[in-house]
Structures are given as C-alpha cells and as structure tokens.
C-alpha cells in the first residue's frame, strides 16, 4: 500500500487525574483519527510526560526525579497504544517516553505499534538538546541505531525532534529505503518550532522524500518538563514534479490542539527520484556533493 491517509497530532497537554483519564483521552484521539480513515497516526515527542500529573506534587516538580517514578506507567502506556493500534487497524507512533534502559539511565524512546499481533518496535533519539543534556538526565549517542521500519504502508523512519536537524541521520535512513520520515517534536519557543520545520523541509528536499512533523502544544504550568509547548503539524515533500511548488502538502494551525490529516502517496517519492526536475537524492551521494576541499584566501 503506497497510498494512505496520515494523521499528525497537535497533541494538547493536559493533567490526567487517573489512569482511566489517560485511557479515555487516548482512545478518543485514536477513534477520531481512525474515523477519518487515517492508517498511520503520529503522536509527538514527550507526550508521555503528561503522565507526571499522576505523581505526587513534590515528585511532579522534580525534573530529574520524576522520570524514574514514571517507569511504573511505562508498560501500561505501551500496552494501551498497542491495543488501540490493533482495535482500530492502524499504525500508531506513541508519544515518546523517557525510558529507563539501565539503572539511572534514560533514553527518549518512541514506539511504533502495528495494527496486528506482535511486538512494537522503537526509535531512540540520538542527539540531545541542551535542555536534555544539561538540565535533565536523558542520554543519546552514536551507539543508538537508526532504524527503517518495513510496514504494510511502506518503509518508514523516525527522527525525534532535534535529530531531524542533522542531515546525515535522515540521509542514512533514506539510503536504507525510508520514503517517509516521522518527526515527533516538542519545542517551547517559536524559534524551536521553526528550527524543526526548516530542517524537515530541508530533509525532504535533500532526500526527495516525505517528512511529517507532529508537535506537543499547550501549557502545563505544573510540569518543569513540558510547561510551554509551541508548534504546528506539517507534511513536507520535495518542491519538484508531482508535489506543490513549495513542497508543503499539509499544515496545521499554530498551537491549536487537534489532528492534521494528509494523503500520502509513497509512489510519488520513487517517481520524483527518477523523473524529477532535479535529482537531489541521487546527486547528493556523488563525490562532488560530499566533503570538499576548501581553500581560504585573502584578498
């Protein structure tokens, strides 16, 4: 299936009072998108941090301490997304979770849940922002593998927020067959929102592929991690034959919670790579487009 409907969440932060609230909210969101015919649903980076509202107030205010306490919810959180994916027959990218991979060590992990029985797989974020490095306790690193997921919809990859700002990551995924790159994001300023979107557009151009952004939006003054969230969802393609002149296939309203829907046709990715006005994907792998000799001159 190369053509399908995509749903990108502009997921509004909230403060659940119980696990039942979490289940009801996610079930309502997924039901809404599935009813519109979406076959791939994308939730944003750190959407799981809303679970911190279920912790005691003193723990909620402890930026580093709260992620250890969140681990009590992680299996239920993953199981909920897997169940909703199966019930609605959709692929579901869960909002990323600060996952403990060893005692006291955490990674920013996003699970892709399939519409059938079987395990979910995940992508960990590789490059940490200053906030994640300096204020929080989230790890990245070159040892984290990049993955390309072969699904019934096509070959997908995930670059979590800041990762999309580094061209080599998306290029490696595209070289391994990814035609669509999902970018769950969480940014607290308009500058951060624009950095992610400028990067997403550039990756779509460079790799002649599709790049989809899904942000966290709204305010959670009770949370030191997701207190302010700005952004809009969007789907970008290369500005070339078969795509809009500006490459913009869909875009949401800034900071407004809800779903942004778009039709995806991965056959157009293959077509533009062979029949485009330019061949960024092919020519970007040629020696002339790689590391260059730079001569510095004085005039």
Per-residue pLDDT of the chain (299 residues; tens, 9 = 90+): 689 999 999 999 999 999 999 999 999 999 999 999 999 999 999 999 999 999 999 998 899 999 999 999 999 999 999 999 999 999 999 999 999 999 999 999 999 999 998 789 999 999 999 999 999 989 999 999 999 999 999 999 999 999 999 999 999 999 999 999 999 999 999 999 999 999 999 999 999 999 999 999 999 999 999 999 999 999 999 999 999 999 999 999 999 999 999 999 999 999 999 999 999 999 999 999 988 899 999 99
Q: Tell me which CATH code domain 3-289 carries.
A: 3.60.110.10
Q: Say how far apart CA 199 and CA 161 lie, in whole Å.
A: 10
Q: Say how far apart CA 25 and CA 205 lie, in whole Å.
A: 36
Q: Record the tokens describing residue 49, joined without a space.
A: 């941090």
- List the helix and strand counts (H, then E) for the chain: 9, 15
Q: Record the tokens describing residue 265, joined without a space.
A: 């046709």
C-alpha separations of 205 from 125, 246, 281 in Å: 22, 10, 8
E strands, the chain, in order: 3-12, 38-42, 91-93, 97-102, 105-113, 121-124, 138-139, 148-151, 154-158, 180-185, 210-219, 228-229, 234-236, 248-251, 258-265
Say whether 108 sits in a helix, a strand or coil: strand
Q: Say how far apart CA 170 and CA 193 lie, in whole Å.
A: 19
Q: Say how far apart CA 231 and CA 56 lie, in whole Å.
A: 29
Burial 98-135 (b: 16+ CB within 10 A, else e): bbbeeeeebbbbbbbbbbeeeebebbbbbbbbeebeee
Query: Domain segments of the chain: what residues?
Result: 3-289
**Whether the Cβ atoms of residue 44 and residue 216 lie closer than 8 Å to each other:** yes
């Amino acid at each position: 299936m190369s053509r399908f409907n995509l749903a990108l969440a502009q997921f509004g932060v909230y403060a659940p009072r119980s696990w039942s609230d979490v289940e009801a909210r996610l079930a309502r969101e997924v039901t809404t998108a599935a009813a519109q015919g979406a076959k791939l649903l994308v939730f944003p980076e750190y959407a799981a941090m809303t679970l911190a509202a279920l912790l005691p107030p003193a723990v909620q205010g402890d930026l580093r301490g709260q992620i250890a306490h969140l681990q009590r919810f992680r299996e239920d959180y993953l199981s909920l997304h897997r169940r909703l994916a199966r019930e609605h027959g959709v692929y579901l990218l869960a909002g990323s979770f600060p996952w403990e991979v060893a005692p006291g060590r955490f990674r920013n992990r996003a699970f892709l849940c399939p519409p059938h029985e079987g395990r979910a797989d995940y992508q960990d974020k590789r490059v940490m922002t200053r906030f994640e490095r300096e204020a929080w306790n989230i790890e990245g690193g070159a040892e984290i593998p990049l993955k390309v997921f072969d699904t019934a919809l096509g070959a997908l990859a995930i670059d979590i927020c800041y990762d999309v700002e580094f061209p080599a990551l998306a290029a490696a995924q595209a070289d391994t067959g990814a035609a669509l790159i999902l970018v769950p994001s969480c940014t607290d300023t308009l500058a951060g929102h624009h950095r992610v979107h400028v990067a997403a557009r550039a990756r779509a151009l460079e790799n002649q592929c599709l790049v989809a952004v899904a942000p966290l939006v709204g305010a959670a003054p009770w949370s030191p991690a997701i207190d302010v969230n700005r952004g809009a969802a969007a789907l970008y393609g290369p500005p070339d034959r078969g795509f809009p002149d500006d490459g913009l296939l869909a875009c949401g309203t800034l900071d407004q919670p809800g779903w942004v829907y778009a039709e995806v046709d991965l056959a157009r990715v293959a077509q533009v790579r062979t029949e485009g006005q330019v061949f960024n994907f092919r020519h970007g792998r040629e020696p002339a487009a790689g590391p260059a000799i730079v001569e510095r001159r004085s005039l």
